[in-house]
Amino acid sequence: MLRLLLRAWPPRPAARPPASVRPIRGPPLPTAADPAMEPSEAAAAEPSAGQNGARCSELDGEAPESTDYANYFCTYSFIYHQKDMLEDHKRTGSYFNAVMRNRGAFEGRVVLDVGTGSGILAIFAARAGARKVYAVEATSMAKFARELAIGNKCEDVIEVIQGTIETVTLPEKVDIIISEWMGYFLLRESMLDSVLVARDKFLKPDGALYPSHARMYFSPIESPGASAWQGEYQGAMEGWHSFLHAMSSLYDVDLGCLTNEFNKEQADYYLQTAQWTDVHPAQMLGPPVCFKEYDLLTVTLEELKKPVSAAFTLDVVAGGPVEALAGFFDVEFRGSPTNPADHPVRLSTAPDMAGSTHWGQLSFFIHPPIDCGQGDKLRCRVCITRKQENHRLMNVSLHCDVLDPSDMPTGVPSRDLTFQIE
């Protein structure tokens, strides 16, 4: 009976809904107008800002560097990807509320929208009474943002500028910077770098950022995804051995010397890559813990680029096994000390009975799961670093010790876990 009571945190539905799980190997989107194009072709397919006379503004900057365009920016030049984000109404609605409920902060002000995409945030700012909105977009989506500004009768206020924010020059300082920069687990994509560049170049000393604060969380969960991905890995290795047999039988070629490398390749993907999930609150074995917080007005670019290192303790209220740690974030729109929001707004990507945002949660599946009793604790250390070969992706290392309710070791071996966020 005690176990049933403890496992009732949080309250569970009569029938637990399964978690939906899909891999994330970067956004599942094409890289050019032809989805079959290689990244090098995709980079060549994107016109530079201002090419062929197609300038959006006299303030246009430079196009992204070709490799960074192929790896990252090209995704955002497709209308259907913009649609995917716009129809995430938790996301879009939070930004709408943050602007419209705080019209006083925007009225008569100069606003900079970094990475405007479709231009939706610029339109919100214009409708809230902004005097001028500079909407900066690195990709050819800028031309569609300009069309939307005209179509929504905001062209007298919104000036769409095509180019990277790092290469753009504005004729004046701005009162507010608004941007939807967050990636999976907050930091994937490293777009916050560009927001801080914009802040340091263009924001007035008493200016505000929307959002103004961000926090990162972990929570212990149970998940059918752990065994599912383990099964996928085992299936991949069984298929490999069948392949070896076929190659030997048909062609008398022994490919067995590649087995170790193939195994590593498959293990990296199936067992050590954080996966996009829609976690139901019923899967949570204990409350989430915030392990990192950013004040976007004060954090420096140098601090942001350093590894994220933190120690934290997770209470496993419901007992284990702990099959994964779910990672997610929230952001808050508080304005600034000199221009505070009258009505602060919070956008959370935590597990929700109503379903996830498009960010979902990242599940870091643990193979094998960690055995925890009711009331045990996971004492953890995390280190998050950027990948050397692509600074927009992440490596994550975790060290976990199991403690009993009196903070004594339980005898369960410590675990050192490594993951990648791709």
What is the value of pTM for the model shown? 0.86
Find all residues with CB under 8 Å of 294, minimum gap 6, and list them: 192, 213, 214, 215, 304
pLDDT at 4: 30
The pLDDT of residue 43 is 42
For residue 280, which amino acid is it?
A: H
Strands across the sheet containing 203-210: 158-162, 132-137, 110-114, 174-178, 203-210
Which residues contact residue 41 at a Cβ distance below 8 angstroms, ignoring those fewer than 6 apart?
32, 34
The radius of gyration of the chain's CA atoms, rounded to the nearest angstrom, is: 24
CA distance 339 to 341: 7
Residue corresponding to tokens 């009975």: 353
Q: Write the CATH number of the domain with boundaries 39-180.
A: 3.40.50.150
What residues contact 326, with CB distance under 8 A and at least 6 apart? Answer: 218, 219, 220, 221, 277, 279, 283, 284, 288, 351, 361, 362, 363, 364
Half-sphere exposure of 154 (CA within 13 A, CB side): 26
∠ CA 364-401-366, nearest 5°, is 25
Please report which residue ranges of 72-171 form alpha helices under DSSP H.
Answer: 79-86, 89-100, 103-106, 120-127, 141-151
Q: Are the C-beta atoms of residues 224 and 17 closer than 8 Å to each other?
A: no
Exposed/middle/buried for residue 237 (C-beta within 10 Å: 0-12, 13-18, 19+): middle
- For the stretch 296-333, what's the b/e string if a residue is b when 16 or more beta carbons lie within 10 angstroms of its beta carbon? bbebeeeebeeebebeeebbbbbbbebbbbbbbbbbbb
Residue 217's pLDDT is 98
**What pLDDT does residue 61 have?**
80
Q: What pLDDT sits at residue 16? A: 33
- DSSP states of 78-98: -HHHHHHHHT-HHHHHHHHHH
pLDDT at residue number 319: 85
Q: Name the residues annotated as catalytic.
A: 180, 189
Sequence length of the chain is 422
Residue 74: closest CA among 24, 120, 33, 21: 33
Q: What is the CATH number assigned to the segment(s) 2-21+215-222+274-421?
A: 2.70.160.11
Report whether the peptide linkage leading into residue 321 is cis, meaning its omega lies within 30 degrees of zero.
yes
In this structure, what token pair is assigned to residue 8?
């009732």
Q: Which residues of the chain have pLDDT under 50?
A: 1-48, 50-52
What element of type H or E holds 198? helix 192-202
CB-neighbour burial class of residue 251 (10 A; exposed 0-12, middle 13-18, buried 19+): exposed
Q: Are 102 and 335 in contact (CB under 8 A)?
A: yes
Which parts of 252-384 fold into alpha helices (H)? Answer: 259-270, 301-305
Written as six digits, the tokens of 361 are 């949660």
Residue 213: which of 297, 107, 103 has the closest Cα? 297
Between CA 139 and CA 7 the distance in angstroms is 49
